[in-house]
């Protein structure tokens, strides 16, 4: 059977992260949503996403296809219900289309042709950007249980102080020395060739993904995910970094989500709690206004390729778009559109060609090429985000 993850109706609620990727490329827990589905299905999947993303994330169609909402995370019950779908059946809970099985080599979803199968169990879905960090603890525990079942961790060096070693798992090549690992409140997963340097304090849950690094004296808790090839230091609380991003120095990052290829300058901080302890509102691209999150703690949302200078400060509930560069001292406003250049004293447009030059250099340092597909995606993002740049 051919499986396809479609973006679904929540895609715009997940901007700026879905400006540059399909919904199922979001990382939460240890794996991306796509990686979770491929692990559960034991089968590769493709994407039904925005046309401008489809060259990098192509759609594969066959004579029969199962389409699954890419914002929904798999579990054993849901997997069985999807695998039991017959041709021209749609699995729904209320008004939410979870999955459907089509009989044609196209993306037909004319529901008049489909028989509805009701799904009455709960399922795990990411509907808003803040779900990525606020639901990360459950996702991390689920991934940890799935990935480590029946397997044995690599030995943990005796130089470390360990609490609940049975909830700590090191993949091949992982290194941890002279640090404190406390898995009382959640598991600690150290991916292949990932490293925790000396003097670090880690309180689970933590997912340190393949080839990621916690530098000396890092303080992580939360539950926190550090994606592949990322580097962190300082204090990080209940945050998710998708991958290839750096917060390599002191400073606080809390209740936050960073995309890929971001860089947080030394001694930068974000607030995650308002002075009056009120619930936090956050910019929503779908409604083009600030929406109530229902959360008391909510920090920074930063899209791909955005960067800050040293000593940058962010107010509670700040949203930074794609390819923005924040370098002026003081607190910038709490919604910064994509391709913005400046800070508290004002912004100008960060032109794509200049942004691409920086991206090429940063990506080359990690052995990744900035190619024409990347440029085309970012050019499109530049165009569709013009309406929010009034400079």
pLDDT, tens only, 12-36: 999 999 999 999 999 999 999 999 9
pLDDT, tens only, 157-172: 999 999 999 999 999 9
**For residue 112, what pLDDT is reported?**
87
Mark the ranges of the chain whose per-residue pLDDT is less than 70. none
**For residue 345, what pLDDT is reported?**
86
**For residue 105, what pLDDT is reported?**
80
pLDDT, tens only, 328-349: 878 999 999 999 999 888 999 9
What the block records as the tokens of 212 is 């990621």
Q: Which CATH superfamily is domain 131-388 in?
A: Hexapeptide repeat proteins (2.160.10.10)
Q: Is the dihedral of CA 199, 267, 270, 144 positive or negative?
A: negative
**For residue 88, what pLDDT is reported?**
95
Q: Which of 378, 389, 302, 379 has the alpha carbon at shortest distance from 337?
A: 389
Domain spans in the chain, listed from the N-terminal domain onward: 2-125, 131-388
**For residue 109, what pLDDT is reported?**
80
Q: What is the CATH number of domain 2-125?
A: 3.90.550.10
Place of tokens 């530098």: 215
Distances (CA, A) of 90 to 108, 116, 343: 12, 5, 48
pLDDT, tens only, 99-108: 999 988 888 7
Report whether 238 contacts 220 (CB < 8 A).
Answer: no
Cα–Cα distance, 196 to 279 (Å, whole number): 34
């Amino acid at each position: 059977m051919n499986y396809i993850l479609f973006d679904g109706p929540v895609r715009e609620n997940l901007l700026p992260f879905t400006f540059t990727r399909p919904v199922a490329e979001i990382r939460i827990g240890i794996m991306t949503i796509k990686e979770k589905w491929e692990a559960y299905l034991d089968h590769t999947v493709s994407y039904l996403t925005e046309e401008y993303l489809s060259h990098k994330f192509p759609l594969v169609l066959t004579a029969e296809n199962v389409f699954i909402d890419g914002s929904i995370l798999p579990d054993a019950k849901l997997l069985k219900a999807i695998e039991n779908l017959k041709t021209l059946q749609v699995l729904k809970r209320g008004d939410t289309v979870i999955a459907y099985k089509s009989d044609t080599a196209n993306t037909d979803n004319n529901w008049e042709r489909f028989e509805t199968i009701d799904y009455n169990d709960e399922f795990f879905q990411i509907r808003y950007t803040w779900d990525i960090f606020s639901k990360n603890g459950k996702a991390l525990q689920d991934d940890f249980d799935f990935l480590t079942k029946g397997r044995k961790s690599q030995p943990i060096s005796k130089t470390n102080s360990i609490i609940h070693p049975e909830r700590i798992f090191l993949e091949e090549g992982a290194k941890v020395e002279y640090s404190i690992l406390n898995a009382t409140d959640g598991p600690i997963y150290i991916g292949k060739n990932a490293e925790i340097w000396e003097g670090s304090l880690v309180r689970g849950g933590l997912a340190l993904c393949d080839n990621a690094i916690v530098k000396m004296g890092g303080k992580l808790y939360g539950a926190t995910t550090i994606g592949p090839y990322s580097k962190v230091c300082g204090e990080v609380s209940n945050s998710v970094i998708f991958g290839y991003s750096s917060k390599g120095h002191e400073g606080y990052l809390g209740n936050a989500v960073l995309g890929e290829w971001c860089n947080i300058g030394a001694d930068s901080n974000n607030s995650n709690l308002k002075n009056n302890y009120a619930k936090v509102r956050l910019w929503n691209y779908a409604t083009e206004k600030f929406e109530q999150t229902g959360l008391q703690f909510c920090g920074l949302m930063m899209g791909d390729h955005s960067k800050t200078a040293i000593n940058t400060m962010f107010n509670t509930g700040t949203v930074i778009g794609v390819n923005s560069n924040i370098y002026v001292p003081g607190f910038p406003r709490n919604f910064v559109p994509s391709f913005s250049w400046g800070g508290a004293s004002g912004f100008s447009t960060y032109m794509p060609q200049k942004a691409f030059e920086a991206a090429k250099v940063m990506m080359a340092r990690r052995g990744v090429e900035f190619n024409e597909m990347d440029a085309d995606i970012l050019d499109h993002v530049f165009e569709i985000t013009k309406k929010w740049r009034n400079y």
